[in-house]
């Protein structure tokens, strides 16, 4: 059986594309640390504010340099982050701290993203999302919602300050 020269080139290009694809996925996983956040249980979304740990929102130091940040995504704020929320506050941590964000939504689907990091997770009503990140570089990290959640979606932001 004779394989035409163009066919041979086409097959070679396909093989190269598959190899490049596998390398790209491998680099994302092993070099950049990209992975799917696993769900960490479910609660009743409407009762989120009354359900542990979401009945006590905020930052807690669980070990030296290790923190847990319990947050609630609500239209339209990352409670208890400040952003546009007059009762909220910015969180400040020392450089090198590892923060585990434990988040859920009490209303609609939100998207939790921290600019300049690989934190990017869906926040689904009633589902507990956990993401962990080590903030090595000092600076102000913008927290945004990347899932359109209604009229004031653009006001859903906050800050993590690393000093």
Residues that contact Cu ion, how many (by CB under 5 A)? 4
Give 90 or 107: the residue with its C-beta nearer to Cu ion. Answer: 107
Q: Give the Cα separation of 138 and 87 in Å (integer).
A: 25
Write out the binding residues for Cu ion, residues 103-142 only, by CB under 5 A. none
Number of other CB atoms surrounding residue 49 within 10 Å: 12
Q: Which C-beta is closer to Cu ion: that of 145 or that of 162? A: 145
Q: Is 145 in the site for Cu ion (CB under 5 A)?
A: yes
In the complex, minimum distance from the CB of residue 153 to Cu ion, in angstroms, rounded to a whole number: 4
Q: Per rule CB under 5 A, is residue 72 in the interface with Cu ion?
A: no
CA–CA separation, 112 vs 70, rounded Å? Answer: 13
Which DSSP symbol is given to 1? -
Site membership for Cu ion, residue 99 (CB under 5 A): no
Q: Does 149 bind Cu ion (CB under 5 A)?
A: yes
Residues engaged in binding Cu ion (CB under 5 A): 145, 149, 153, 156
């Amino acid at each position: 059986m004779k394989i035409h020269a163009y066919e041979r080139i086409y097959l070679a290009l396909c093989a190269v594309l598959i190899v490049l694809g596998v390398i790209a996925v491998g680099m994302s996983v092993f070099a950049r640390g990209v992975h799917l956040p696993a769900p960490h249980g479910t609660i009743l979304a409407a009762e989120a504010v009354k359900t542990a740990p979401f009945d006590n929102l905020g930052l807690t130091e669980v070990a030296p340099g290790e923190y847990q940040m319990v947050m609630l995504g609500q239209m339209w704020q990352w409670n208890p982050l400040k952003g546009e929320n007059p009762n909220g506050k910015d969180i400040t941590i020392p450089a090198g701290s590892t923060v585990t964000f434990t988040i859920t939504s009490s209303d609609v689907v939100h998207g939790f993203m921290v600019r300049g990091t690989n934190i990017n997770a869906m926040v689904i009503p009633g589902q507990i999302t956990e993401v962990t990140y080590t903030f090595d570089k000092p600076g102000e990290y913008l927290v945004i919602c990347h899932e359109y959640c209604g009229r004031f979606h653009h006001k859903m932001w906050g800050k993590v300050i690393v000093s």
